[in-house]
Amino acid sequence: MAGLERLNVSYNNFTGAIPADSRFGREAFLGNNVGLPGSPRISSGVIAGIVIGLMSGTVVLASVSIGWYQGRRRKSRGRRVEEEEEMEEGEDGGGGGGNGDEGKLIVFGGGEHLTLEHVLNATGQVMEKTSYGTVYKAKLADGGIIALRLLREGSCRDAASCLPVVRLLGRVRHDNLVPLRAFYQGKRGEKLLIYDYLHNRTLHDLLHETTSGRAMLNWARRHKIALGVARGLAYLHTGQETPITHGNVRSKNVLVDDFFISRLSEYGLDKLMVPAVADEMIPVSKLDGYKAPELQKMKKCSSRTDVYAFGILLLEILMGKRPGKGAGGADLPSLVKVAVLEETTMEVFDVEVLKGVRSPTEDGLVQALKLAMGCCAPMAEVRPDMREVVKQLEENRPRNRSALYSPADTRSEIGTPF
Question: Per residue in 396-415, pLDDT tens?
Answer: 998 876 555 455 455 433 33
Q: Given this model, what pLDDT does residue 50 score?
A: 46
103-129 pLDDT tens trace? 899 999 999 999 999 898 998 899 988
More confident call, 314 vs 1: 314
Q: Given this model, what pLDDT does residue 209 score?
A: 86
Q: Given this model, what pLDDT does residue 67 score?
A: 58
Last residue of a domain, one of 144, 162, 196: 196
Q: Say if residue 309 is in the same domain as residue 282.
A: yes
* Separation between Cα atoms, residue 194 and residue 31, nearest integer Å: 41
The three-state DSSP-derived secondary structure of 203-231 is HHHHHHCCCCCCECCCHHHHHHHHHHHHH
Confidence band for 340, pLDDT divided at 50, 70 and 90: very high
The verdict on residue 12 lying in a domain is: no
Last residue of a domain, one of 181, 196, 211: 196
Those residues whose C-beta lies under 8 Å from the C-beta of residue 112, and which sit 6 or more positions away, are 94, 95
Q: Given this model, what pLDDT does residue 1 score?
A: 64
Q: What CA–CA distances, in Å, run from 63 to 57, 67, 228, 282?
A: 10, 7, 42, 41
Q: Say if residue 258 is in the same domain as residue 275.
A: yes
Q: Say if residue 251 is in the same domain as residue 151.
A: no
Q: For the CA atoms of 291, 295, 298, 302, what is the dihedral angle to 10 degrees?
A: -90
The verdict on residue 89 lying in a domain is: no
The verdict on residue 240 lying in a domain is: yes
The verdict on residue 310 lying in a domain is: yes
Buried-exposed string 38-76: b where 16+ CB fall within 10 A, e elsewhere: eeeeeeeeeeeeeeeeeeeeeeeeeeeeeeeeeeeeeee
- 228 pLDDT higher than 80: yes
Helices (H), 342-413: 351-354, 365-375, 386-395
The verdict on residue 312 lying in a domain is: yes
Q: Given this model, what pLDDT does residue 305 score?
A: 98
The domain in which residue 182 lies consists of 100-196
More confident call, 31 vs 265: 265
The verdict on residue 418 lying in a domain is: no
| Contact (Cβ atoms closer than 8 angstroms) between residue 399 and residue 363 | yes
Q: Say if residue 207 is in the same domain as residue 274.
A: yes
Q: Say if residue 108 is in the same domain as residue 166.
A: yes
Q: Say if residue 219 is in the same domain as residue 191.
A: no
* Separation between Cα atoms, residue 252 and residue 130, nearest integer Å: 11
The verdict on residue 27 lying in a domain is: no
Percentage above 70 pLDDT, the chain = 76
Last residue of a domain, one of 178, 196, 214: 196
- 194 pLDDT higher than 80: yes
Q: Say if residue 266 is in the same domain as residue 149.
A: no
Q: Say if residue 153 is in the same domain as residue 254.
A: no
Q: Label the pairing between strands 33-35 and 15-17.
A: parallel
293-324 pLDDT tens trace? 999 999 999 999 999 999 999 999 999 999 99
- 173 pLDDT higher than 70: yes
177 forms bridges with which residues in the sheet? 264
Q: Say if residue 151 is in the same domain as residue 205.
A: no
Q: Say if residue 223 is in the same domain as residue 332.
A: yes
Q: Say if residue 134 is in the same domain as residue 231.
A: no
What is the total count of domains within the chain?
2
> What is the reported pTM?
0.74
Q: Given this model, what pLDDT does residue 358 score?
A: 86
More confident call, 138 vs 101: 138
Average pLDDT over residues 177-202: 92
Q: Given this model, what pLDDT does residue 390 score?
A: 97
Q: Given this model, what pLDDT does residue 69 score?
A: 58
Low-confidence winner among 7-11, 76-80, 332-336, 367-371 (lowest mean pLDDT): 76-80
What 3-state DSSP class applies to 192? strand
Confidence band for 87, pLDDT divided at 50, 70 and 90: very low
Report the CATH number that the domain containing residue 134 is assigned in CATH. 3.30.200.20
Q: What CA–CA distances, in Å, run from 159 to 87, 91, 167, 195, 207?
A: 8, 14, 12, 20, 39
* Separation between Cα atoms, residue 182 and residue 93, nearest integer Å: 10
* Separation between Cα atoms, residue 228 and residue 328, nearest integer Å: 27
What is the residue-averaged pLDDT of the chain? 82
Report the CATH number that the domain containing residue 379 is assigned in CATH. 1.10.510.10
Closest CA to 215 of 256, 174, 173: 256
Q: Say if residue 277 is in the same domain as residue 372.
A: yes
The verdict on residue 406 lying in a domain is: no
- 65 pLDDT higher than 70: no
Phi then psi for 17, rounded to 5 degrees? -105, 145
